[in-house]
Structure 1
Amino acid sequence: MAPHLVRTAALPSELWVHVFGYLSTTDKCNIRSCCRYFKAIVDHWSLWKGHTVVVRKHCAYTGNFWKILCRRKIKSVVLRRASLKEWKQLAISVPWLTTIKVEHCNDVKCFEILKQFHNLKRLSISGFRQGLTDTIGSLQQVTNFSVCETQLVPRTEIINAVSKLSHLTSLFYHEGNHPIPRQTFHIMLKSLPHLKYLSLKMGTHTGSLPDDYFNISKTINGPQEGQQVGQAGLTRLELLDYMDPTLSEEALKFLPSLQCLSVDYRDRDVQPTKCHLKTWLKGLPQLAVFNIANGHPISSYADSIPANVTSLTLRHVTMERKDLATVGKQIPGLLHLHYDPRSRNGSSIGEISRHFPQLRTLRIRHYNVPEREFSSLQHLKCLDRLEILDACVPTAHLMELTNKLQVLTRYRTQIVHSQNPREPTACYCTHC
Structure 2
Amino acid sequence: MALQLPAELWLKVFSFLSWRDKLSMRCTCSYFRHLLDKSRPLWRGFSVVLQNLSRYNRSFWRSLAQRHVGNVLLRSGKRKHLKQLHAWLPSLCGLRLDDWREGGVDDLRLFRQLQRLSVTSCSIPLRNLDFLFPLSQQLTQLSLCNVQLTCSASHLLATVGQLTCLTSLLLHHDGSLRVPSLSGVLAHLSELTHLSWTMITYRTLPHDFFSPAHHTGDAALQLLDLQLLNYDAVVTQETLQPLSRLRSLSVFHLYSVPGPTCHLQTWLTSLPHLTNLSIHGECLFPPFVFVYLSISLMSAYSIGGHPLASYADFLPTSLLSLTLCVDLQPNDLRVVSARAPQLEHLHLEPWSSSSDLIRLLPQLFPHLKTLRIRHQHVSDDDFLQLQRLRRLDTLEVLDSYYRPDPSDPSRVIFEPSPRLLRLTSDLQRLTNHRVRVITSSHGDLLSCHCV
Instruction: State whether TM-score is above 0.5.
Output: yes
Question: 1:399 aligned to 2:421?
Answer: yes
Question: What is residue 314 of structure 1 aligned with on the other side?
Answer: 324
2:41 maps to what in 1?
Answer: 46
Aligned partners of 1:153, 1:318: CA distance in 2, in Å? 39
Amino acid of the structure 2 residue aligned with 1:278: Q
**What letter is aligned with 2:225?**
R
For residues 209 and 96 of structure 2, the distance between their equivalents in structure 1, rounded to whole angstroms, comes to 30
Secondary structure of the corresponding residue to residue 332 of structure 1: coil
Q: Indicate if the aligned counterparts of 2:236 and 2:266 stay in contact, CA closer than 8 A.
A: no
1:145 is paired with a residue of what secondary structure?
strand
Give the SS at the match of 2:50. strand
Worse overlay, 24-33 or 64-73: 24-33
**Distance in 2 of aligned mates of 1:405 and 1:173:** 41
Residue of 252, 264, 271 corresponding to 2:258: 271
What are the equivalent positions in structure 2 for 1:113-128 lying under 5 Å apart?
Answer: 113-126=107-120, 127=122
**Aligned-residue offset at 1:395:** 2.4
The code of the aligned residue for 2:252 comes to D
Instruction: Name whichever of 343-352 and 402-411 sits farther off.
Output: 402-411
Task: Tell me the SS of whatever aligns to 1:278.
Answer: helix
C-alpha deviations, 1:222-255, integer Å up to 9, x for none? Answer: 35xxxx614222111100111243x446532331
Q: Structure 2: which amino acid aligns with 1:359?
A: L
Residues 356 and 345 of structure 1: CA distance in aligned 2, closer, same or farther (over 3 Å): closer
Classify the secondary structure of the residue corresponding to 2:126. Answer: coil
Residue 149 of structure 1 contacts residue 175 of structure 1 at CA under 8 Å; is this kept in 2?
yes
CA contact under 8 A between 1:250 and 1:279: conserved in structure 2?
no
Which residues of 2 match residues 10-409 of structure 1 at below 5 A? Answer: 10-43=4-37, 44-57=39-52, 59-107=54-102, 111-126=105-120, 127=122, 129-139=125-135, 140-154=137-151, 155-177=153-175, 180-183=178-181, 185-205=182-202, 207-216=203-212, 219-220=213-214, 222-223=215-216, 229-245=218-234, 247-248=235-236, 250-267=238-255, 270-294=257-281, 295-315=305-325, 317-392=326-401, 393-409=415-431
**How far apart are the structure 2 equivalents of 1:358 and 1:9?**
47
Could you tell me how far 1:24 is from its partner in structure 2?
A: 3.3
CA deviation after TM superposition for structure 1 residue 356, in Å: 0.6
Q: Deviations over 1:297-319 (max 9, x none)?
A: 0111111111111011111x111
The secondary structure found in structure 2 opposite 1:261 is: strand
Q: What CA distance in whole angstroms lies between the structure 2 residues aligned with 1:229 and 1:133?
A: 33
TM-score (normalizing by structure 1): 0.89
Matched with 1:3 is: none
**Residue 90 of structure 1, CA deviation:** 1.7
Which structure 1 residue ranges, 4+ long, deviate > 6 Å from structure 2?
A: none
Alpha-carbon distance between aligned partners in 1 of 2:260 and 2:312, rounded to the nearest angstrom = 17
Cα shift at 1:16 = 1.5
Q: Secondary structure at the match of 2:184?
A: helix
Query: What is the SS of the residue equivalent to 1:149?
Result: strand
1:375 Cα shift? 2.4
Q: Is the 8 A contact 1:91 1:113 kept in 2?
A: no
The whole-number CA distance in structure 2 between the counterparts of 1:180 and 1:236 is 23
1:55-112 alpha-carbon deviations (Å, 9 max, x no partner): 2136412122221111000111112122333211221222111111122334467x33
Question: Is structure 2 residue 443 aligned with structure 1 residue 422?
Answer: yes
Letter in 2 for 1:279: T
1:277–1:264 CA distance, 2 compared to 1 (3 A) = same
C-alpha distance 203-133 of structure 1, shift in aligned 2 (>3 A): closer
Counterpart Cα distance in 2 of 1:424 and 1:233: 26
CA distance in 1, matches of 2:150, 2:430: 58
Give SS of 1:151's match: strand
Identity rate, percent: 36
In the alignment, what sits opposite 2:290?
A: none
Asked if the contact 2:247/2:274 (under 8 Å) is kept, the reply is yes
| Cα offsets for 1:1-45 (capped at 9, x unmatched) | xxxxxx211212122122223333333333222221011012132
- Residues 87-140 of structure 1: per-residue CA shift (max 9 Å, x gap): 11221222111111122334467x333222221111112315122343312211
* 5+ long unaligned stretches in structure 2: 282-304, 402-414
Q: Is the 8 A contact 2:78 2:101 kept in 1?
A: no
TM-score normalised over the length of structure 2: 0.85
CA RMSD of aligned residues (A): 2.1
- Paired residue total: 410
